[in-house]
């Protein structure tokens, strides 16, 4: 890895650059990317989320609390220093660069414009100093060294009907055109892959676990242009051929993915588009440069894409599909947990990877299953202390009849997306494990049963999940909840439940996770996660009220709870939830699993 950093430094010297900033994102600023854009991993060997800065005398990786343990292990011997974020006294990349080059009259910072957002580059430039900072845009910069770099992905494409997603493609186009008219714009360029998939009711597999298609979408008052990797359609891929035909018949003009820049420049030059709306947070810097070079300053209107919010509020058809998805997923989870306990009690040899394979097997039996919604985190004991632990196929940890096992997983179904974490005791647990387990579950329950006024943002209720831990001087470093797509990305916004200030209110129809945790390096990790649907809770003299309804259906193990740490309301919620799980799932489970689930969901009695 040191040689790759040095190769980048050689390029810097030859071209007069002072720094290189690399990210792990793709041309659509996606959270998860295809292998072609795993730049950080190729340079450093680090496989988590983060960003890399290389100067003549320093190489640094910036990442947050979820990845500290992993980063420290994977960066050993690389000469790359870990810079911690989401901690007190953090110094983020723009501020660090400003300090590092404080004495320079001019600073040249190189970026791969296809792999970094316009927002981030502008922030770096403005922080370091707009008048003294030059940005060198070098698309596909690493291709000079990365000779076996993977190509652009292209997977089969399907379309979904209104009977599955509620809104037809035509209805969505009518809506976005009205939004453009109301906001004085002629066109909108959508660059976020999940927003494009939602708008066109298309799904693909260009990014692992995310059913999206690498593309751009330009919607104007009288045209719809989808820039997508067409290429030759493989034999027997009738779904893609039919999808392209359907899209074309509905007025979508399909063009090649690589033509987006030329098309935008031509439209603006021809005065076809006077005002175009873009969201710079999902627009890569290279395309941003093309827009700026070929337009007047007032041609481009920037702001948050309206699609993100519209997509996050699920309609009745989507909610019905999500209920079905969580029902089917719950059945698979209970089968898995029964199998796991049976194997452990029988003393059968079992490791983390074998557990993830077995869970996949149970899910794959469900009609409409399209794969996992993210890579399953199957972690035993100390490995669970890594919130984003990657379960290795070879050499994964053996499971034994003691301590805690954590499984964070989810499924993609044609009718919805799931995300669930269960931490279960495999045998005797320490007092500390029992306390941590109970306090995390207490926080989960507190958030799940909250009633809150309409207009409340996720950052205002995050404390509900943390208070039981804070009261015992314990904490966790990640967010408490994220939005979940409908047969789309398992992580979506604009809502979130975390300490970071985000004005977005939690609205009826939004689907958000509830997943507090605790992580003790070298000991154990615990997380309890359900997916919650925001629903109406009535109105009175004080206004409109909202609450959460759990969509997830899978019991919580109560065998190691420290009951003294729970109050009566906690116990009532837990008893009611487990009873609902049993009554809903048991009729569809084999008799031996239903009998086992009955024992697992018996009421807690003080």
Q: Return left, alpha or beta for 86; rule: phi > 0 is left, psi -120 to 50 is alpha, else beta.
A: left
Q: What is the CATH number of the domain that holds 230?
A: 3.40.350.10
Question: Residue 83 is part of which domain span?
Answer: 2-144
559 and 585 part of one domain: yes
Radius of gyration (C-alpha) of the chain in whole angstroms: 25
268 and 201 part of one domain: yes
341-381: per-residue pLDDT in tens?
Answer: 999 999 999 999 999 999 999 999 999 999 999 999 999 99
Mean pLDDT (whole number) for 262-270:
73
Band (pLDDT 50/70/90 cuts) for residue 295 is: low
Model pTM greater than 0.85?
yes
Q: What is the pLDDT of residue 299?
A: 82
490 and 529 part of one domain: yes
Residues 6 or more apart whose Cβ sits within 8 Å of residue 35: 150
491 token code pair: 């992580």
Is 504 a residue whose pLDDT tops 90? yes
Number of structural domains found in the chain: 3
- What distance in Å separates the CA atoms of residue 325 and residue 310, rounded to the nearest whole number? 21
Band (pLDDT 50/70/90 cuts) for residue 234 is: low
- What distance in Å separates the CA atoms of residue 573 and residue 604, rounded to the nearest whole number? 11
Q: What is the pLDDT of residue 320?
A: 98
Domain edge (last residue) among 83, 113, 144: 144
Domain edge (last residue) among 97, 117, 144: 144
**Within-domain flag for 267:** yes
Instruction: Kindly list the distances between the CA atom of residue 53 and the CA atoms of 20, 21, 78, 97, 280, in Å, as whole numbers in the listed order.
Output: 6, 5, 14, 9, 22
Q: What is the pLDDT of residue 339?
A: 98
Q: For residues 153 and 213, is the Cβ–Cβ distance under 8 A? A: no
Band (pLDDT 50/70/90 cuts) for residue 233 is: low
Tell whether the torsion through CA atoms of 374, 380, 381 and 383 is positive or negative: negative
303 and 412 part of one domain: no
419 and 508 part of one domain: yes
65 and 174 part of one domain: no
240 and 338 part of one domain: no
H/E segment holding residue 226: strand 224-228
**Within-domain flag for 605:** no
Q: What is the CATH number of the domain that holds 380?
A: 3.90.230.10
Band (pLDDT 50/70/90 cuts) for residue 538 is: very high
**Within-domain flag for 119:** yes
- What distance in Å separates the CA atoms of residue 54 and residue 29, rounded to the nearest whole number? 21
Mean pLDDT (whole number) for 5-9:
93
Q: For residues 373 and 417, is the Cβ–Cβ distance under 8 A? A: yes
Note every long-range contact of 344-348, with CB atoms under 8 Å and residues 24 or more positions apart, other chains counting: 344/399, 344/400, 344/401, 344/426, 344/427, 345/401, 347/401
170 and 251 part of one domain: yes
Q: For residues 303 and 295, is the Cβ–Cβ distance under 8 A? A: no
Helix/strand/coil (H/E/C) assignment for every residue in 494-538 = EEEECCCCCCCECCCCEEEEECCEEEECCCEEEECEEEEEEEEEE
DSSP 408-441: EE-EEETTEE--EEEEEE-S---HHHHHHHHHHH
Is 511 a residue whose pLDDT tops 70? yes
Q: For residues 127 and 119, is the Cβ–Cβ distance under 8 A? A: no
Phi, psi of 325 (to 5 degrees): -60, -40
185 token code pair: 């714009």
**Within-domain flag for 288:** yes
256 token code pair: 């090649």
Q: What is the pLDDT of residue 519?
A: 97
Beta bridge partners of residue 405, listed in sequence order: 380, 424
**Within-domain flag for 149:** no
Is 598 a residue whose pLDDT tops 60? yes
**Within-domain flag for 294:** yes
- What distance in Å separates the CA atoms of residue 371 and residue 253, rounded to the nearest whole number? 30
Q: What is the pLDDT of residue 65?
A: 84
Helix/strand/coil (H/E/C) assignment for every residue in 290-307 = HHHHCCCHHHEEECCCHH
Q: What percent of the chain has pLDDT over 90?
A: 87
Mean pLDDT (whole number) for 35-39:
95
Is 269 a residue whose pLDDT tops 60? no
Find, among 361, 362, 357, 397, the residue nearest to 375 by Cα: 357
- What distance in Å separates the CA atoms of residue 319 and residue 328, rounded to the nearest whole number? 14
**Within-domain flag for 286:** yes
β-sheet with 492-497: strand ranges across: 451-453, 543-550, 530-540, 511-514, 481-483, 492-497
Q: For residues 154 and 214, is the Cβ–Cβ distance under 8 A? A: yes
Q: What is the pLDDT of residue 556?
A: 98
Band (pLDDT 50/70/90 cuts) for residue 557 is: very high
Band (pLDDT 50/70/90 cuts) for residue 499 is: very high
**Within-domain flag for 366:** yes
Band (pLDDT 50/70/90 cuts) for residue 297 is: low
Mean pLDDT (whole number) for 149-161:
93
66-101: per-residue pLDDT in tens?
Answer: 888 889 999 999 999 999 998 888 999 999 999 999
246 token code pair: 């359907």
Report the mean per-residue pLDDT for the chain. 94
320 and 303 part of one domain: no
360 and 251 part of one domain: no
* CA 329 to chain CA mean position, Å: 19
Q: What is the pLDDT of residue 273?
A: 72
H/E segment holding residue 579: helix 568-585
Q: For residues 202 and 158, is the Cβ–Cβ distance under 8 A? A: yes
591 and 456 part of one domain: yes
Band (pLDDT 50/70/90 cuts) for residue 592 is: very high
408 and 525 part of one domain: yes
Q: What is the pLDDT of residue 296?
A: 57
Find, among 111, 119, 123, 55, the residue nearest to 83 by Cα: 55
Domain edge (last residue) among 261, 278, 308: 308
């Amino acid at each position: 890895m040191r040689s790759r950093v040095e190769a980048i430094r050689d390029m810097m010297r030859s071209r007069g650059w002072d720094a290189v900033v690399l990210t792990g994102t793709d041309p659509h600023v996606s959270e998860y990317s295809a292998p072609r854009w795993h730049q950080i991993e190729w340079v450093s060997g680090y496989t988590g989320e983060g960003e890399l800065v290389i100067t003549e005398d320093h190489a640094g990786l910036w990442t947050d609390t979820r990845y500290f343990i992993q980063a420290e292990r994977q960066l050993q011997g690389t000469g790359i220093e870990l810079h911690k974020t989401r901690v007190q006294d953090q110094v983020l990349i723009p501020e660090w660069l400003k300090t590092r080059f404080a004495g320079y009259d001019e600073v040249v910072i190189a970026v791969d414009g296809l792999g970094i957002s316009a927002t981030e580059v502008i922030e770096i430039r403005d922080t370091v100093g707009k008048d003294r900072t030059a940005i060198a845009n070098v698309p596909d910069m690493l291709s000079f060294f990365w000779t076996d770099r993977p190509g652009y992905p292209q997977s089969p494409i399907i379309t979904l009907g209104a009977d599955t997603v509620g809104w037809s493609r035509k209805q969505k186009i009518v809506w976005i055109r009205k939004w453009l008219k109301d906001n004085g714009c002629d066109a909108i360029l959508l660059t976020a892959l999940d927003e494009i998939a939602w708008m066109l009711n298309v799904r693909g597999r260009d990014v692992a676990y995310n059913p999206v298609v690498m593309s751009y979408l330009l919607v104007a008052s009288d045209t719809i242009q989808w820039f997508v990797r067409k290429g030759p359609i493989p034999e027997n891929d009738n779904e893609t051929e039919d999808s392209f035909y359907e899209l074309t018949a509905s007025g979508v003009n399909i063009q090649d993915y690589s033509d987006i820049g030329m098309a935008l420049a031509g439209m603006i030059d021809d005065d076809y588009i006077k005002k175009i709306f873009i969201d710079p947070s999902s627009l890569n810097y290279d395309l941003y440069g093309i827009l700026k070079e070929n337009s007047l300053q007032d041609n481009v209107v920037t702001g948050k894409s309206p699609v993100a919010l519209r997509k996050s509020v699920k309609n009745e058809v989507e909610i019905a599909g999500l209920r079905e998805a969580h029902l089917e997923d719950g059945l698979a989870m209970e089968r898995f947990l029964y199998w796991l306990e049976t194997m452990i009690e029988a003393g059968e040899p079992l490791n983390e990877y074998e557990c993830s394979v077995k869970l996949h097997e149970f899910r794959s039996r469900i009609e409409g299953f399209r794969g996992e919604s993210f890579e399953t985190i199957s972690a035993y004991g100390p490995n669970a202390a890594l919130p984003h632990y990657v379960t290795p196929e070879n050499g994964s940890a053996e499971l034994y009849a003691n301590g805690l096992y954590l499984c964070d997983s989810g499924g993609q179904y044609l009718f919805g997306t799931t995300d669930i974490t269960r931490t279960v005791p495999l045998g005797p647990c320490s007092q500390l494990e029992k306390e941590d387990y109970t306090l995390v579950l207490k926080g989960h329950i507190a958030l799940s049963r909250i009633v809150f006024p309409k207009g409340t943002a996720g950052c205002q209720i995050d404390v509900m999940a943390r208070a039981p831990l804070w009261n015992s001087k314990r904490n966790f470093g990640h967010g408490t909840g994220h939005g979940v797509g409908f047969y789309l990305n398992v992580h979506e916004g604009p809502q979130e439940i975390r300490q970071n200030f985000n004005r977005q209110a939690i609205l009826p129809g939004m689907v958000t996770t509830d997943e507090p945790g605790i992580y003790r390096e070298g000991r154990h990790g615990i997380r309890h996660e359900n997916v919650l649907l925001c629903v109406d809770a009535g109105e009175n003299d004080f206004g409109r009220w909202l609450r959460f309804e759990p969509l997830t259906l899978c019991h919580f193990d109560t065998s190691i709870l420290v009951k003294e740490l729970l109050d009566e309301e906690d116990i009532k919620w837990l008893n009611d939830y487990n009873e609902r799980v049993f009554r809903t799932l048991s009729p569809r489970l084999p008799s031996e699993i239903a009998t086992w689930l009955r024992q697992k969901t018996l009421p807690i009695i003080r």
